[in-house]
Amino acid sequence: MAYRENPGVASYVLSIGQRNTREVVVDHLWQRILQISFPYEENYLHEREEYSHPRSLSRANVTLATLQNAVRRKLLVVECKKSPGNRSGYAPPGVWEAAKVQLRNFLLSYRQTQAPLACGLYAIVEVGKFAKFYRLKNSSDDLEDFGGNLTTLNIERDANQVQALLALMKSEIEGSL
């Protein structure tokens, strides 16, 4: 089932479209999308407010891990931000860059404590209804756009593209297991 057809996802999207949406609604939306795209039954673990390592003070909003031989291995981190107060719902560039830096630091910190899969680590920045997809290759310290996608996607209007990127991630992850 595509996430756009899920009533729970639709309810979160509707809430995000309203003014003064809190960040936690965006967190819940992504947790639900990941549960649909990466089911528990396939050994995927969905987590909120995960620390990057045992001594870290920084947390990611939503994370996805896989369970291998009773060991959790981080795969994807989503940094969520509430919708901006402007009419467009699109955040200014500084918000995107700050969230991307947060993600990069989280992934680099995580990589210091545990070896990632051969496919590397994935990241999504979500501001309200808009998302950008990234990857951190094991051979790099910089996030790169994932899947050749250089645009910002609206999770409602561009649901097919979002779903395709998640399917590509899943394929690469499963090829690394």
Q: Hey, CA dihedral for 91, 57, 109, 39, is it positive or negative? A: negative
**Residue 92 belongs to domain spanning:** 3-176
- The fraction of the chain above a pLDDT of 90, given in percent, is 35
* pLDDT tens-digit map of 34-80: 999 999 999 999 887 665 556 655 666 788 999 888 888 889 988 88
What's the CATH code of the domain at 23? Answer: 3.90.1570
Total domain count for the chain? 1
How much is the pTM?
A: 0.88
Residue with tokens 């996430």: 3
* pLDDT tens-digit map of 127-164: 888 899 999 999 999 999 998 767 889 888 899 999 99
SS (H, E, C) the chain: CCHHHCHHHHHHHHHHCCCCCCHHHHHHHHHHHHHHHCCHHHCEEEEEEEECCCCCCCEEEEEEEEEECCEEEEEEEEEEECCCCCCCCCCCHHHHHHHHHHHHHHHHHHHHHCCCCCCCEEEEEEECCEEEEEEECCCCCCCEEHHHCCCCEECCCCHHHHHHHHHHHHHHHHHHC
Query: What is the pLDDT at residue 132?
Result: 94
Name residue 126's beta-bridge partners.
80, 131
Strands 59-68 and 130-136 come out as unpaired
The type of residue at 22 is R
Query: What is the pLDDT at residue 53?
Result: 54
